Amino acid sequence: MSDQELLIYKLVTSKYLNTDYGNGRVMALSNNCIDLDKDLKKISDELVLFRKSQDKQMHIDFLMYANKIVSTRFNGYDCRNRIEETRLESSANLQTQFAIKQEQSVLGKSSSETNVYLVIGSLVILSVLVILIRNK
């Protein structure tokens, strides 16, 4: 690689890859699914920007290389399924919390209505009892 190519490589991939120049070993910087997913999104956004520009083919090539490395780790960690499971679990938790709040609001109204009916019924029975006692 020429000095200019190496400079562009470092500029483009340093945010996503850890490159050991001594032995040529390259690894993705991120170690968890969320960060890997964010990196893939950033790489995709950068690729769109570079493709709009002219004379950026080397940048695109290095970004595609970084994308391949990050995607390999993303797939190796089975991140797509993990992220989907997390999304489904959080969705289920939100739905459960919403259902609990709805149930509590219905039960709260039911309880207060029951108390009102008990008080009214007690007053009616007491009134009838008073009327019966006075009429004797």
Domain boundaries defined on the chain: 3-77
Residues of the chain falling short of pLDDT 50? none
For residue 23, which amino acid is it? N
User: What does the pLDDT read at residue 80?
Assistant: 94
Q: Which helix (H) or strand (E) holds 27?
A: strand 25-28
Residue 45 is encoded by which pair of tokens? 């956004």
What is the model's pLDDT at position 103?
83
The pLDDT of residue 55 is 87
Whole-angstrom distance, CA of residue 40 vs CA of residue 8: 19
- Which CA distances in Å does 20 have to 10, 25, 99? 11, 5, 53
Q: How far apart are CA 83 and CA 99, in angstroms?
A: 24
Q: What is the pTM of this model?
A: 0.70
